[in-house]
Structure 1
């Protein structure tokens, strides 16, 4: 495997991790509320809930500080080092980029991330996690 192929593979791996992180944040909140109504005990797990709150907290703080996600920075640096464009490359890269990277003013992201963070925080009061992480 060439050095460029290895770098692109690492970049694709980071992109997949990034998408999984986004899915955890978004679908984690839906799971908490849905799980409350369907009586799923795992959505009350303190470790899961703390990790979920931390994840959206990081996103909100980054947006307010105007910080680019480190996963994005690492992925793009690997692609550049491999000599690839940031939107060219493998099938995985192309389609996952369509899901993650879209264009809007910074304030739009700040409002969206903050509102989502408020929903996650509200879930702590509406669907209280168990006191022990079990």
Structure 2
């Protein structure tokens, strides 16, 4: 399995707009060959690594693929082009360039699905069902 991490430095005033964009486009990944999962991570307010001057922390985009070839096929796909087509409109949203990293999974431990509590509240619909 390959995990692609994209660190995106987002200005705080644009956080909601960025999250809405991902909410709109991320479901399109489900139909891509080799797609295993997507997570958009926002900086936690109590992040211990946050600098004292409150400089924004990056959003982290985590996408898992079966193989690097599957990821590369996605990057060349119409789905990728469509989901990134509004980037020019968001130029002011970023405080710097994104940083893309790729990893091979060396170890993985999953929680037994029977032991995972059922989520309650508004975030229940956003959790991946197993």
TM-score by length of 2: 0.30
The structure carrying a bigger strand percent of its residues is: 2
Larger Rg over CA atoms? 1
TM-score (norm 1): 0.29
